[in-house]
Chains A and B, each alone.
Chain A
């Protein structure tokens, strides 16, 4: 599952020739994180996870991805902590842990 990741640098256009035609740009060019108000973070228990992907399907921010290790992982740069994945997981493999503990 290909997904956008945060870019480390944004190079602004230096002159008119570097601007895009129209107000369009290739999708996924993320330059800022967006998760600072998350109060609880979802944790996936890889042993309980059956990889049914319902969390991937229902995540409103599209931050759940398959990891190189074979399980699922969450991009905490953009997860808002809404808890939908934890509520919907049929294996009870996602738990919400309070941030800052």
Chain B
């Protein structure tokens, strides 16, 4: 019988609770709104000794991730968390962690980037770092945030993967919203998540030179191996989710989630917490006889390439709604979805890109209905539409 309890937690508190159950050896982080309460809770857990970990007070995000990399290099399980400007200050180290194949797990509170200065949620921070070699997952609510943290260690530390993982929570909408969260017992998490073991570490019996140089003759092969490891994560994510379901009962659908896509004419693709606004709109429009569907991207890296093609096949129009823009072109999620679609011979006739929620701008149910109206329109419209 699985022992679990329910608690009323914010997304950030759910992340901290999951990190405690995952038993990291080292936590290094620097506070930044809206991530702060994650590392405040973890600091309290370490102080009261309900979490036996080294908690490093560092002077910057760059140092926070560097400390995690160093700890991972001697075989420690590590955790850090950041957001927005802090995540970008880490940018150099993100590549170090993935290139060195150190499976650090990080929570990122998605937040706008200055200027204008703004502490509210959009996804420009993490989406601008898609190429840094980290697995990127996007949660919809506090429970999924909790579950992704537990799963992240199993995925990132898998010998076929050994790639760091970033769990993204929409700033405030998830990080600071309180929900009922199921918390499994420590013994069950211990059984699901055995201690981190790797050959890619230094110890006294096996001294290693770490972080070496590789010149033009060898460098690309390391990058090729990184790509293969990330692609291997596709299978590992499925395996980990299947095991997770056996242990804890909750089912996750892999790289993306679909809703009513089989017979849908108009499909909206999005990611993160806005899914909670989209779902009731889909049900409402369906009850009115409209053939609408919904895709929620859960992983941006590895990208759900084949899954996107399958989900969107046969639709008349596809809209991508994202809290992000690559200035001078279009939203990055839209670019990725289009690229996946171009590999098939059946591209939906109309593809529209909707940019919303920048700097925390509200996306209401009425906006989602308006998006579906726009998808029905056959005019060419603007390549990018701000809502």
**Interface check A16, CB cutoff 8 A:** yes
Could you mark each residue 168-199 of chain B with 1 if its beta carbon is under 8 Å from any beta carbon of chain A, else 0?
00000000000000000000000000000011
**Interface check A52, CB cutoff 8 A:** no
Q: Which residues of B contact A25 (CB under 8 A)?
A: 208-209, 212
Interface residues on A, range: 10 to 19
Given known contacts A16-B225, A19-B225, A24 and B208 CB-to-CB distance under 8 angstroms: yes
Interface SS majority for chain A: loop
**Interface check B309, CB cutoff 8 A:** no
Contact of A24 among B200, B218, B228 (CB under 8 A): B200
Distance of B330 from chain A, by nearest CB (Å): 35
Q: Which residues of A contact B222 (CB under 8 A)?
A: 19, 23
A26 to B209, CA, bound (A): 6
Q: Which residues of A contact B224 (CB under 8 A)?
A: 16
**Interface check A100, CB cutoff 8 A:** no
Interface SS majority for chain B: loop
| Chain B 83-125 interface residues, beta-carbon cutoff 8 Å to A | 99-102
Q: Which residues of B contact A24 (CB under 8 A)?
A: 73, 100, 200-202, 208-212
Contact B100 A23 (CB under 8 A): yes
Can you list 25 A-B pairs with a CB-CB distance of less than 8 A? Answer: A13-B218, A13-B221, A16-B221, A16-B224, A16-B225, A19-B218, A19-B221, A19-B222, A22-B162, A23-B99, A23-B100, A23-B101, A23-B210, A24-B100, A24-B200, A24-B208, A24-B211, A25-B208, A26-B206, A26-B207, A26-B208, A26-B209, A27-B208, A27-B209, A28-B207
Question: Top 10 A-B pairs ranked by shortest CB distance?
Answer: A22-B101, A22-B200, A27-B207, A24-B208, A21-B200, A24-B210, A27-B209, A22-B100, A23-B212, A23-B100
